[in-house]
Amino acid sequence: MASALGIEPATDVNFGLRFMTTALDGLGSLDIIVNNAGYAWDGVIHKMTDEQFEAMLDIHLKAPFRIPRAASDFIRDGQAGTFCWGARASKRPA
């Protein structure tokens, strides 16, 4: 869906760098990066496929790692300095 709209998925290897470049080109500076994105597969673990598990790792671990890595030079230079990372979990309805 995202690629059909011309939006690069956050799981793309180059997303972090493109994200930072777009933000800095558009805003000129950056004060804070907030990551509160994520999703969960509703289901029991013994029914989760390897593909579903890999998708969860991509969105919850790899994408949040790539954004601050891309921002690290900018932040180290003192031009910004705050990351705010959240987590999302889902609960099955009772």
Class of domain 3-85: alpha beta
CB within 8 Å of 22: residues ≥ 6 apart:
none
* pLDDT tens, residue order, the chain (94 aa): 444 546 678 888 888 888 888 888 898 877 788 877 677 776 788 888 899 888 888 888 888 888 888 888 777 776 666 777 765 555 544 4
pLDDT at 15: 87
- Structural domain spans, the chain: 3-85
Residue from 59, 14, 64 nearest 34 by CA = 64
Q: Write down the pLDDT at residue 90.
A: 52
Considering only the C-alpha atoms of the chain, give the largest distance between any 2 of them, rounded to a whole number of Å.
Answer: 49
